[in-house]
Amino acid sequence: MRILVTGTAGFIGFHVANRLLNEGHTVIGFDSVNDYYDINLKYGRLAAAGIDMHEPNNHIKIKSTIYPSYFFYQGKLENKNNLENVFKKESIDIVVHLAAQAGVRYSLQNPEAYVSSNINGFANILECCRHFSIQHLVYASSSSVYGLNDSIPFKTTDNTDHPVSLYAASKKSNELMAHVYSHLFKLPTTGLRFFTVYGPWGRPDMALFIFTDSILKKKPVQIFNSGKMLRDFTYVDDIVDGVIKAMYKAPKQKKEWKKSTSDTSSSSAPYKIYNIGNNKPVNLLDFLDAIESELDVKAIKEFLPMQPGDVVTTYADITNIKNDLGYLPETSIKDGIRNFIKWYKKYYSI
């Protein structure tokens, strides 16, 4: 198939694109390559897949030197005309939408970026999918949508009406917007609520990267809420496995679905929501201990209060995705951390 993957200069998008290419698909990559974090890391991911780009190159099609069926466009989701041009040129079958303005804490500093990319940009993706007869839209949501929900583990049937960050609210809006297009235009959509993804080529604003970097540079490791936090850390290969499984199974209309009695993660429309997590939450201090053990270096710990917009626990109930798609995470925390540190040392020549 010909698959548009947005966010291919990003962490998860890079890994998804590589898996799809290795499975024999044609991948059309799309990314703004913004400077939210180290742009050289984004260029590095692109280069690892054969996309040679070291400076802005907006809207020009680049062919991979490694994969003959990989093509890349730099552009912003908010620019509807340029996004439409990609759809017109590329005869796309399926869209895997992973591009977004990420980060909970950054949404406190730059809320406009989240409205622009995550809401306006997503509206443009939906419009293009509608007008170009896309077979299935798979898109990234987030565990952050659970907000103030205190039912553990988080089920897709739980209430998600009380987000605690603008990032979470933007992801919740994506789910609602997708349902409208599934209902009105019969566009099959699948939303995937990712739980704390980590692994090689990971983002510098995520815990594993920050902890590893700080320990090796002998800087204090900031630990919020005195470390009294649980995270359902999910290795990137397991996330990719869930994305691909979901992509191959587009939801269908369910005439028997009833609002009053049915699962709120599905609908009478061709619409579905899944959690993708490890289903084994880890205490933040235990996670740090595992990093220290792998590095054989002790961290300098700095204990701080809870950050605005953060939550104490994330814990994915994966019953639905396991039953429907056969998803089952396989990577242990120990192996995942080891793989990341091995990549980190190689990438930064340590």
Question: Annotated catalytic sites, by residue?
Answer: 167
What ranges in the chain are assigned the alpha helix state H?
A: 11-22, 39-48, 80-90, 106-109, 111-114, 121-131, 166-185, 207-216, 236-247, 284-295, 319-325, 333-347
Q: Which residue has the tokens 């814990």?
A: 315
The full DSSP string for 152-181 is: SSB-TTS-----SSHHHHHHHHHHHHHHHH
Q: How far apart are CA 173 and CA 167, in angstroms?
A: 10
Q: What are the C-alpha distances in Å from 323 to residues 243, 274, 317?
A: 15, 11, 12
Nearest to residue 130, comparing CAs of 175, 170, 178?
178
Q: Which residue has the tokens 């120990």?
A: 334
Per DSSP bridges, beta strands 70-74 and 62-63 are antiparallel
Report the half-sphere exposure of 150 (CA within 13 A, side-chain side): 2
Can you state the percent helix, strand and coil of the chain, rounding each to 5? 40, 20, 40
3-state secondary structure at position 10? coil
Cβ neighbours, 10 Å, residue 49: 21
Q: What are the C-alpha distances in Å from 97 to residues 47, 234, 320?
A: 21, 19, 21
Q: Which residue has the tokens 């289903």?
A: 279
Q: What are phi and psi of 126, to 5 degrees?
A: -60, -45
